[in-house]
Amino acid sequence: MWGAAALCGFILFWWSYSSDPWGQIYLGVFTNDKGHLCAIYVLWGVALGGLQFWRESRGDRRAFLFHRPISPARIFLAKVLAGGILFFGAAVPPFLFAVLSSVYQPHPMKPFDWRMSLPHAIDICCGTIAYLAAALCVSRPARWYLSRGVPLMFALTAIVLAVRVTEFWQALLIILFFDAVLALAAFGSFLTAGTYAPQPRIARVALIFVLLIGLLSLVTVLSLSLNAEYGFRESLGACREYHEYFVQRNGSVLLGKVKANWYPYYRDSYENIEEVADLNGHAVPVNSLRSVSGVLLGRARPDRELRYAYRDEMRYYEFVASDDVAPKFYRNLWYYVRSARRFVAFGEGGRIGSLGPDGFAPTNEAGAGFEGELKDSGWYQRGGHKLVWAFGDNIYTIDFEKRSVTRVRDLPEGEHIECFSFTNLYLETTYLLTNTSIHVLDANFKDLLGIARQFDARAYPSVIVYKTTAGYCVWYSANDASYSPTPPGAPPEQISLLDETGTVLKTTPLPIRGLIIGAANAPMTLDPPQLPESVSWRNLISAELLPPAGILATKYFDDEESAQLSLSFGIWSPLALGANALAMICCILVVLWACRRYALSRGLFFAWTALALLTGLAGLLVFLSVYDWPARENCASCKRKRVVTRDACEHCGAAFPSPPRDGTEIFEAVAERASIP
Amino acid sequence: MLEFRIVPGSVTPIYKQLVDQVRWAVFSGAHQPGTPLPSVRAVAEQLVINPNTVAKAYTELSRDGVIESRAGKGCFVAARRQIFSNAERSRRIQDAAATFVNEAACLGFSPDEIRAALERRLRQFSEESSR
Amino acid sequence: MTDFAIRTENLTRYFGAKRAVCALDLAVPKGTIFGFLGRNGSGKTTTIRMLLGLLEPTRGRATVLGEDSRRLSPATRARIGYLSEGHYLPPWMRVRQCGKFQAQCFRTWNEDLFQSVLKHFRIDPNARAKALSRGERAGVCIALTLAPGPELLILDDPALGLDPVVRRGLLESMLYVTRREGRTILFSSHMLSDVERVAEHVAIVDRGVLRAQCKLDTLAARIRRILLRFKSEPPALPEIPGLLNVQRFPNELSLSIANFCDATQKILDALPVESSTTMPTTLEEAFIDYAGERGEKSFFLERMGGAA
């Protein structure tokens, strides 16, 4: 039977691997970066875990399994080991086959790095989380409110987390951690056939953790989806008002107030410059604005390689060009392969060769790679087919058709390129930002402007260069080149006016102006924003679902914009806060009631109350679902209800009465036996 | 060797049936004093009953002097000895008679029929003992 | 404590609000065969599951071979054999595979014994478990339970659904176990003839409550049936301690009394009886009287259409 199941799994994976759009097994697998194949492994894990543990979870079968001179821990480990072998036995061979066939592919069409198989290894490992979650589900007692299925929600959360992190080792650690927690919880429930009290302490803690995270994610999703539409709609209708500095063509700087109504779902979103003033505060007519756009040279971005997660194929290579010349299109495809640091071409016959700083090397010959990281590139398309690439501390032009590499510029010792940019496709002017200098380059990559950075690169990572009528204008910003507004506490922007030769004429600091968000149609002021007029029922429910800690957390967001956005969620309205407080009081009351009714100790009461306050409704639900609530009977002496699990009544201390005797009992003390002759 | 048979589920306890069978065998003269009795284990396994039941029967028999146990060799039919006083003997026969008569009365036999049955049995007994 | 194989103290188990076992104080001496009797649904299987640590008691504790039943160590489990009424075997396993599987777990496995029990029940070692009849499965389970030579054997209604031949084989196996000194058997059964054969001590459980725990002979001795004949219609009975049930006939009363003593005799003497006879009863009848319906039963002969 197990053999048949494994075979099914095998066939399933084979089919899934081969159903890729390119019609080639190996490629289909490794161009996936979303983890959708994960679902297959998860289903396999769930089926395996459920079936394996369900059959022997009760009755005579359980007795057959348990009553033997092997500790339950070993029995559990043996089952998990068997399950693991089946799971990986069905999942790993097709995977290995795909990897090996990709590695030894005689006519590859794309570059392949063995690390591209890592995401799929993680997908397979995610199946183990599903396996253990299913084992736990099946060992838990069935209740009418479906608390049995919560571990699956936990597994879902864990898998989503594992799939979303950027590094392989992070995903592996996450999987190992969640596997350990689930294994402990599953073992505890396996040991006691689902009852809670006799489980070892660490298993109980693990079970509470599993249920808590599962319910928390459920509750959070519910809360957000209830609220999101409302909040989103609110921010849809939000007006943003912000101040922006505009560099004029003549080099002067003006401050404008911009109002943006932003309705992504509706057609009339617009941005409007409402008022303009010069730096001294004198108003300037709006229509006299003649701003010039600059080239943003941001701070040293992290390595292009590291910008992508291990799941993203862009981390390993990126498509750069096809040397197609009419009428032949897509004859050869060129990729920049990061591990080799060369440009590699793939054509009909497979890999054609690679281009490096030392020129073209055919087929599989190795060559030197480009020194330094690939920074940026530009197109250059005039009478030919050239591209410009910046690496480390050199700039190259590369003709993929002619397969030539020419170094056009290299930097002095100690300098390296931070950013290389361009304004138009014809590469008449390119811009270069190094760690110490700023250059504007002509078509031959010689300096039109070459100055040192006035401000330290760490304090002012971003540089924007404007070409003005009088020369240049360089704007230094503490922002890291993202387009969100600079937070208020940052150092002021600095603008330097330069002449044609690069001499600094004037440097002006510009104070930061923040971003204001308000409700639609509200009067725009710089005062703190008004809270929404009415709070919908959705706000109330979602506020009740979230724990107080969660609501407090929304206050301390990183940037002001998100903090201001959360106001539109209505969470901080008195009504919503009141609803939350009421919900929390109800939680505490429920816990109190249950503890008193079922005679739980005071320490437990405090512990569960703390958990409920910390985690909101989720904590309360965990409390209700984790205990096996005992029956209650009337006490014979004090006539109040008492739990049946304790020997002494919790109110009067009396023991349970012995069963009544009616004179027909026949009891005899055990006497010595005669020995058999 | 003595052959035993028991009827489980009867009104007589099993050990009593064994005791009665040994008694009958001995007093009918079918087995002479000195005849070995099967071991407790053998009887228990043959009849599929608890050895303690057999042990209990043997204990009662040896207490009554019907059998004797010799160390290391097992149990044997004992030579007939008077071990009871006359009073004790008469009490015992009264008990036996009471049991017999009660049973017969329950079955609905008249005193004449009871007497007739008793006569038949005594005749049988004396025939066997004379052999 | 050391000369009891099983000892329970106030053992109680609730299923929801229903009390299945109530304040059981069982004491099974070592080296005896102990019959655990009771009607269906009186809590025998629940008690046995609690003794084996498969079910958690709501209150009270049980000590098996000196260890708490909730925490039986693997070493102790090796000394306990368990046979359940379902005679469960993994259906896909062959008989000899079952044997090998058990043998791996138990260090004291006796292969000869296993094979001889199988031969006694005439079971083919190559047969798959799902192809075996009920009796054959029982035979395999008996073999699997006996082969490790357990000190304590717990059998939960082992004869259920078995034919007389297999039942006899079961009894023989039980007696075989007690060949060695100190071996204890606790078994529950409805076949009182079997119980009478092999049990020394018995306990009777009624609706979860222990009503009797004594030697088998004591039980038989202490339950008496008395037939009272009257000249006319029998009078209403006074309160008689230990009265189990009464059957009323036109001129007779048949009383079933437990713990008959002199005081009871005095009360009976006070009635205007014509004659009073003690009826000999079998164990089965005694049990039916004891565990059956209490109180007065009337048997209207007119409905039967004839005289008694």
Q: Which 8-state DSSP code applies to residue A328?
A: B
Supply the angle between the helices A168-192 and A72-103 in degrees, to the nearest 10. 150
Q: Which residues of A touch B39 (CB under 8 A)?
A: 677
Q: Are strands A253-261 and A270-278 parallel, antiparallel or unpaired?
A: antiparallel
Start-to-end Cα distance in chain C: 53
Q: What is the ipTM of this complex?
A: 0.87
DSSP letter for each residue of A581-614 = HHHHHHHHHHHHHHHHHTT--HHHHHHHHHHHHH
Rounded Cα gap, residues A541 and C72, in angstroms:
50
Q: Could you tell me if B36 and B25 are in contact, meaning their C-beta atoms sit under 8 angstroms apart?
A: no
Closest CA to A333 of A325, A321, A343: A321
Probe site for chain A from C104, C204, C211, C256 (most A CB atoms < 10 A) = C211
Chain C residue whose CA is closest to B107: C279
C-alpha to C-alpha distances, A670 to A460, B51, C29, C183, nearest whole angstrom: 94, 18, 8, 17
Exposed e or buried b for every residue in C111-128, given b needs 16+ CB within 10 A?
A: eebbeebbeebebeeeee
**Using CB atoms within 10 A of its CB, is residue C200 exposed (0-12), middle (13-18) or buried (19+)?**
buried
| Three-state DSSP state, A357 | coil
Closest CA to A181 of A197, A205, A165: A205
Q: Judge whether residue C304 has pLDDT over 70.
A: no
Q: Tell me how close the Cα of B5 comes to any Cα of chain C, in angstroms.
A: 12
**φ, ψ of residue A515 in degrees (nearest 5):** -110, 140
pLDDT band at C100; cut points 50, 70, 90: very high
Q: Judge whether residue C195 has pLDDT over 70.
A: yes
Rounded Cα gap, residues C73 and C79, in angstroms:
10
Q: Which 8-state DSSP code applies to residue A224?
A: H
Q: Are strands C184-188 and C152-156 parallel, antiparallel or unpaired?
A: parallel
Number of CB atoms found within 10 A of residue A456's CB? 10
Chain B residue whose CA is closest to A673: B52
CB pairs under 8 A between B and C: 54
The reported pLDDT for the residue numbered A247 is: 83
Q: Tell me how close the Cα of C155 comes to any Cα of chain B, in angstroms.
A: 17
Rounded Cα gap, residues A111 and A105, in angstroms:
10
Are B11 and C282 a contacting pair at CB < 8 A?
yes
Number of CB atoms found within 10 A of residue A49's CB? 31
Number of CB atoms found within 10 A of residue A642's CB? 24
Q: Could you tell me if C199 and C33 are in contact, meaning their C-beta atoms sit under 8 angstroms apart?
A: yes
Interface membership of A676 toward B (CB under 8 Å):
yes
Q: Which residues of C touch B52 (CB under 8 A)?
A: 32, 200
> Which residues are paired to A633 by β-bridges?
A642
Tell me chain C's radius of gyration from C-alpha atoms: 23
Tell me chain B's radius of gyration from C-alpha atoms: 16
Chain A residue whose CA is closest to C240: A663
Q: Tell me how close the Cα of C198 comes to any Cα of chain B, in angstroms.
A: 4
Beta carbons within 8 Å of B98's beta carbon, 6+ residues apart = none
Q: Position A603: which residue type?
A: G
Helix (H) or strand (E) holding A579: helix A574-597
Closest CA to C26 of C2, C9, C49, C45: C9
Q: Could you tell me if C255 and C246 are in contact, meaning their C-beta atoms sit under 8 angstroms apart?
A: yes
Tokens of A494: 């600095």
Closest CA to C146 of C115, C123, C187, C167: C115
Closest CA to B13 of B2, B3, B1, B21: B21
DSSP letter for each residue of A509-541 = EE----EEEE-TTSPP-SSPPPPPS---HHHHH
Tell me chain A's radius of gyration from C-alpha atoms: 34
Measured at the CA of A128, the angle between CA A127 and CA A132, to 5 degrees, comes to: 120
Q: Could you tell me if C42 and C57 are in contact, meaning their C-beta atoms sit under 8 angstroms apart?
A: no
The reported pLDDT for the residue numbered C181 is: 80
The reported pLDDT for the residue numbered A13 is: 63
Residues comprising chain A, all counted: 677
Interface membership of A326 toward B (CB under 8 Å):
no
Tokens of B115: 């007497």
Are C49 and A63 a contacting pair at CB < 8 A?
yes
Are C209 and A659 a contacting pair at CB < 8 A?
yes
Interface membership of A201 toward C (CB under 8 Å):
no
Q: Could you tell me if A249 and A564 are in contact, meaning their C-beta atoms sit under 8 angstroms apart?
A: no
Are C52 and A67 a contacting pair at CB < 8 A?
yes
Mean pLDDT across the stretch C6-13?
94
DSSP letter for each residue of C216-235 = HHHHHHHEEEEEEE-SSSPP
Probe site for chain B from C120, C170, C180, C217 (most B CB atoms < 10 A) = C217
Q: Which residues of B touch C178 (CB under 8 A)?
A: 50-51
Rounded Cα gap, residues A295 and A465, in angstroms:
5
Number of CB atoms found within 10 A of residue B5's CB? 9
Rounded Cα gap, residues B95 and C143, in angstroms:
47
Helix (H) or strand (E) holding A98: helix A72-103
The reported pLDDT for the residue numbered A2 is: 61
Are A677 and B58 a contacting pair at CB < 8 A?
yes
| CA B23 remoteness from chain centre | 3
Rounded Cα gap, residues C238 and C272, in angstroms:
12
Are C175 and B50 a contacting pair at CB < 8 A?
yes
Probe site for chain A from B43, B49, B52 (most A CB atoms < 10 A) = B52
Residue among C178, C197, C283 minimizing CB distance to B48: C197
Number of CB atoms found within 10 A of residue A534's CB? 9
Interface membership of A141 toward C (CB under 8 Å):
no
Omega of the bond leading into A630 within 30 degrees of 0 (cis): no
The reported pLDDT for the residue numbered A271 is: 66
Chain B residue whose CA is closest to A676: B55
- In which residue ranges of chain B is pLDDT below 70? 1-2, 81-83, 131
Probe site for chain C from A635, A643, A647, A666 (most C CB atoms < 10 A) = A666
The reported pLDDT for the residue numbered C78 is: 93
Are C197 and B45 a contacting pair at CB < 8 A?
no
| Three-state DSSP state, A417 | strand
Q: Dihedral through CA C123, CA C127, CA C131, CA C136, nearest 10?
A: 20
Q: Which residues of B touch C179 (CB under 8 A)?
A: 41
Q: Could you tell me if A606 and A623 are in contact, meaning their C-beta atoms sit under 8 angstroms apart?
A: no
Residue among C33, C175, C193 minimizing CB distance to B9: C193
Q: Could you tell me if C162 and C138 are in contact, meaning their C-beta atoms sit under 8 angstroms apart?
A: yes
- In which residue ranges of chain A is pLDDT below 50? 19-29, 32-34, 230-237, 264-267, 300, 382-383, 482-483, 519-532, 557-561, 563-565, 567-569, 672-677
Probe site for chain B from C176, C177, C196, C218 (most B CB atoms < 10 A) = C196
Rounded Cα gap, residues A402 and A387, in angstroms:
12
Using one digit for the tens of pLDDT, what is the confidence trace for C228-252? Answer: 888 888 888 888 888 888 888 888 8
C-alpha to C-alpha distances, A653 to A595, A647, A657, B130, C308, nearest whole angstrom: 17, 8, 12, 78, 57
Rounded Cα gap, residues A100 and A85, in angstroms:
21
Residues comprising chain B, all counted: 131
Q: Position A470: which residue type?
A: A
Rounded Cα gap, residues A101 and A20, in angstroms:
15
The reported pLDDT for the residue numbered A551 is: 65
